[in-house]
Amino acid sequence: MTVKKTQAVSNENTLQLYFEDAKTLLNSQLQTLQPIIAKLKLHRQIEYVLQTRGKRLRSTLVLLSGECVGGKKEDLATLALAVELLHSATLVHDDILDGDLFRRNALSVHAKWSVKEAILVGDSLASLALSLCRGYRDEVLDVMANTCLELSDGEYMDIELSGLSVSEKDYLEKVQKKSASLFKAAAECGALAAKGSEREILALTGFGDNFGVAFQIRDDISDVVGLGNEIPCDVNELRATLPLIHFYQNANTDGLKLFKKLKFIKRKEAGNKHVLGELLANLESSGSMRYCDAKMDQYVDRAIGALAPLKENHCKRYLVEIAESLRSKLRP
């Protein structure tokens, strides 16, 4: 038992080291892009976006997928940066559409400058992303271009399907386009750039797609579980997240009354903590949280199952670990 526990810790540390190496490689690659960015009129705004660095999960997925089928990390670095830039572009546009004033505890671009400038910054980042794909096979650029369309379509669905009466089918279609499509593209493009076989490319594409959906469902769960003294945007504005959709569609009279309270409550109101506690209790007692846990597990299983055709190596193991990490408990 002790040996297994030590091995698990060792594997976790190894995966963490891979992430750290990937970040270092990506930061180095980003420096080579600085001369191009410096010539742009919006260079200050673009640099501002790029200095706010997240987990780099999608770009790391490019590297892992490529290495999984025999590619070299260094040869995939530019493509990984392209995916990171496209992700940054979506965040800039997301903040505008959602009216979010902060991103990772810093002012969003539209809040710091203007909506007009933020739109152009997002467009510039997407254009830079596509330009970085030119050194790879044509199929890579095709995938990235199609992903841009899917992301836009998903964003529109997010606006159009704003009410909780949306069906789970429509919700999942929106998630696949708005969130999962970039994970899917990262895995597919990594495999394409590394000249993986058709079977390998399909396996990694399936992983990215299913992982992306599981990732978003966990994010939905996290938003609800992380309820503090203030109501998060998703809850306050009753956005169509899976826990709220499931609860709403199965709510009794008391549950519907609770939604009416949420509709009129303000984030800063003194009584909001009581309503938040009532919401979380109802989500648990109604089975909505358990339902979301099971749905996420289903997509995690699909993601891991998609990797079955691939040869065993450390990168495949890392992909499995990353998928399994979504199952970590968010609440008692």
Provide, rounded to the nearest whole percent, the portion of the chain with pLDDT above 90.
68
Tally the domains of the chain. 1
Closest of 179, 187, 184, 201 to residue 63, by C-alpha: 187
Q: What are phi and psi of 54, to 5 degrees?
A: -95, -150
Tell me which of 193-202, 232-241, 295-304 is least confident.
Answer: 232-241
Q: Residue 313 belongs to a domain with what CATH number?
A: 1.10.600.10
- Helix, strand or coil, per DSSP, at residue 107: strand
Domain for residue 332, yes or no? no
Domain for residue 143, yes or no? yes
Q: What are phi and psi of 286, to 5 degrees?
A: -75, -15
Domain for residue 28, yes or no? yes
**If residue 201 lies in a helix (H) or strand (E), which one and from where to where?**
helix 198-225
User: What does each C-alpha distance from 254 to 95, 117, 251, 279, 324 come to in angstroms?
Assistant: 34, 45, 8, 11, 36
Domain for residue 6, yes or no? yes
Domain for residue 91, yes or no? yes
Domain for residue 331, yes or no? no
Domain for residue 181, yes or no? yes
Matching residue, tokens 């990168």: 315
Q: Give 25's contacts (C-beta < 8 A, 6+ positions apart).
A: 63, 73, 74, 77, 80
Each residue of 42-52: pLDDT tens digit? 999 999 999 87
pTM for this prediction: 0.90
Each residue of 164-173: pLDDT tens digit? 778 999 999 9
Better-scored residue on pLDDT, 164 or 58: 58
